[in-house]
């Protein structure tokens, strides 16, 4: 590789790095606006009927971009001696508890995927109202106590150019 090639690659790499950084920032701003638009648009059920959440379908000509508002995020673990453990232990059977949680230094969900955990919880805890109470306690919250959730701008579902 010649010095001219090295210089050219460094200059091109620097240009691309700067452009990617700018493009990521621009995309982040676009996605914030699309999330806001999705929140203020009519919602339809998710494509995957077994998932909890909703979506807005934003249109641009022949294209349709799903803005997916997934179910609330569940916490992955909680202190074994804490309030959450006490609440859940007092409400469900030992068998259901062992099926859903494992003890490390905290209790951790045995099932990492939130949706699969919800399905397992519904099977393990026969009382639907109690199951919903348990899931409500497990919802992750931010420092202000607001339930965390995840929004996905589904670019991969956007059809090709019009």
Tokens for 48? 């995957």
- Tens-place pLDDT, residues 72-107: 788 888 988 889 999 999 999 999 999 999 887 778
Once rounded to an integer, what is the mean pLDDT over residues 59-65?
93
Q: What is the mean pLDDT of the chain?
A: 90
Query: In DSSP terms, which residues pair with 56 in a beta bridge?
Result: 43, 67
Write the DSSP assignment of 106-162 as a string of letters.
EEEES--SHHHHHHHHHHH---HHHHHHHHHHHB-B-TTSPBPEEEEE-GGGS-S--
pLDDT at 25 over 50: yes
**What was the pLDDT predicted at 160?**
67
**What was the pLDDT predicted at 52?**
83
Maximum Cα interatomic distance, the chain, rounded to a whole number of Å: 73
pLDDT at 24 over 90: yes
């Amino acid at each position: 590789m010649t010095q001219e090639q090295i210089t050219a690659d460094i200059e091109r790499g620097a240009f691309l790095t700067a452009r990617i950084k700018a493009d990521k920032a621009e995309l982040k701003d676009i996605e914030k606006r699309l999330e806001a638009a999705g929140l203020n648009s009519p919602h339809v059920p998710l494509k995957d009927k077994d998932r909890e959440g909703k979506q807005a379908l934003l249109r641009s000509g022949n294209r349709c971009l799903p803005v997916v508002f997934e179910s609330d995020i569940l916490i992955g673990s909680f202190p074994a001696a804490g309030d959450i453990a006490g609440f859940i232990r007092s409400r469900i059977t030992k068998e259901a508890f062992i099926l859903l949680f494992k003890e490390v230094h905290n209790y951790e969900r045995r099932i990492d995927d939130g949706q699969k955990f919800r399905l397992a919880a519904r099977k393990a805890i026969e009382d639907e109202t109690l199951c919903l109470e348990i899931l409500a306690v497990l919802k992750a919250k931010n420092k202000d106590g607001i339930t965390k959730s995840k929004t996905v701008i589904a670019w991969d579902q956007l059809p090709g150019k019009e």
